[in-house]
Amino acid sequence: MKNLIKSILLVTALAATSLGMSATASAETNRIAVVDVGAVFQQLPQRDEIAQSLQREFRERIERMQEMEQEIGELRERIQRDESIMSEDERNQAMQEFEQRVGQAQQRGEELNEEMRRRQNEERDRLLSQMQTVIAGIAEEEGYDIVLEANSVAFARDSYDISSKIIEEMTND
């Protein structure tokens, strides 16, 4: 019985040692790279193109909002200016109109902000998807087994950073 236990322990120890060696050997042959996705995103010319495109897309609605704000400001000035000569009913009616316009402007402003945020997220996600495709292509082409986000790594030598390659490839597309 003691010999059987000793044999099992010996086989287990040998297997553990063997697994440890193969894991070490495997880790030594893995090629690793890092990418600073945020920095790459900030440097892409597509980001500026997207911003300009979104600005054109929402220009009319933004201008309408600015007009509404100007009208509200003019109405407020008129109420303040003419308050002393207005009857109670005129003042109440003007205040009701003012509050109604402010409410409409706030609602439309929130809708516009939400729509702009949604579109920005769509475009950002599309660009990040393109970036992911480029990262995968470079990793495959250059034989990297693992590509990590640079901000998730405590330390990596600059030689592991392929961010500039990503920028270059996405700029040339």
Q: What is the pLDDT of residue 28?
A: 62
Say if residue 113's pLDDT is above 90: yes
Q: What is the pLDDT of residue 162?
A: 95
Rounded Cα distance between 166 and 138, Å, is 8
Query: Which helix (DSSP H) or strand (DSSP E) does residue 170 occupy?
Result: helix 163-172
Q: What is the pLDDT of residue 72?
A: 96
Query: Which helix (DSSP H) or strand (DSSP E) does residue 101 occupy?
Result: helix 88-142
Indicate the average pLDDT of the chain.
87
Calculate the alpha carbon distances from 154 to 1, 31, 38, 119, 148 in Å: 50, 17, 16, 34, 11
Rounded Cα distance between 11 and 14, Å, is 5
* CATH, range 31-172: 3.30.910.20
DSSP, collapsed to helix, strand or coil, labels residue 45 as helix
Q: What is the pLDDT of residue 5?
A: 47
Contact 163, 33 (CB under 8 A): no
Rounded Cα distance between 70 and 107, Å, is 16
Q: What is the pLDDT of residue 15?
A: 44
Beta-bridge mates of residue 148: 34
Calculate the alpha carbon distances from 16 to 22, 47, 49 in Å: 10, 51, 56
Nearest CA to 130 among 34, 52, 45?
Answer: 45
Say if residue 40's pLDDT is above 60: yes
Highest mean pLDDT, choosing among 16-20, 29-33, 166-170: 166-170
Q: What is the pLDDT of residue 4?
A: 39
How is the chain split into domains, by residue range?
1-30, 31-172
Say if residue 2's pLDDT is above 60: no
* Residue 38, amino acid: G
Say if residue 58's pLDDT is above 70: yes
Whole-prediction pTM: 0.70
Q: What is the pLDDT of residues 68-106, one digit of tens each?
A: 999 999 999 999 999 899 999 999 999 999 999 999 999
What is the band of 23 on the pLDDT scale with cuts at 50, 70, 90? very low
